[in-house]
Amino acid sequence: CKSLPETLLFQLLGLSIATLSTVTHYGLRFTLISNISLDSNSYRVIHHRAFYFGICLSMTLILAALLSSAATVRESQCLTAMGFFCFALAFCGLIPAACWRYTHSTEVEDSMMDVYDFVYEEVRRNTSSLRRHELTAIHEAFLCCGKHSPFGDTTSVEHKTCPPGQVHDEGQDCLREIQDFLKKHVDFVFSLLGIAIGFTVTVSVLSHF
């Protein structure tokens, strides 16, 4: 069957997107920031929407691949049309996601760093035990220590919340660590979406013909 390699490819692509969505949603660093973020911060909304979008997209791709394979085996025009519709539906979801990447390129990054700034300043001002625990958890998750600040009274914050062995003067600034981590993750996510767009367009054109 000619469509078998394509079917396996799209199933693998769908499973990869589902796995990445799950890791992003339930990963320690992401859930930690999501749990700490305030209602006024946009990160929690983005966090949940990204997960549901990824799961829906992966299921659509897998279904489209299965329908196309079944259509080839049974030579069914109805199944072919359903497979083409699923590919078109996936494409209609992928394009807005890719556009969002460029129109809101710093929104996720800024919202995550805003969460860290908020917790850090809360600890610096009133040494809340809850906020201190949250800041310590962030430092341990991202393997960083404090941030560069114009204030001169932040040394005690680092001493109370940084993991043993982390030295703030070595440049392990948490804002930079969060920024670098998120940039690598987002680049990987949208590289995978780019591959999905390319294959979806190719298979949709072939299915049409």
Structural domain total, the chain: 1
- What is the per-residue burial (b if ≥16 Cβ within 10 Å, else e) of 23-53? ebbeeebbebbbebbeeebebbebbeebbeb
Q: Are 58 and 15 in contact (CB under 8 A)?
A: yes
Which residue range forms the structural domain that includes residue 204? 4-208
Rounded CA gap, 126 and 149, in Å? 17
Nearest to 58 by CA among 208, 206, 193: 193
Low-confidence spans in the chain with pLDDT less than 70? 1-6, 127-128, 149-155, 165-172, 203-209
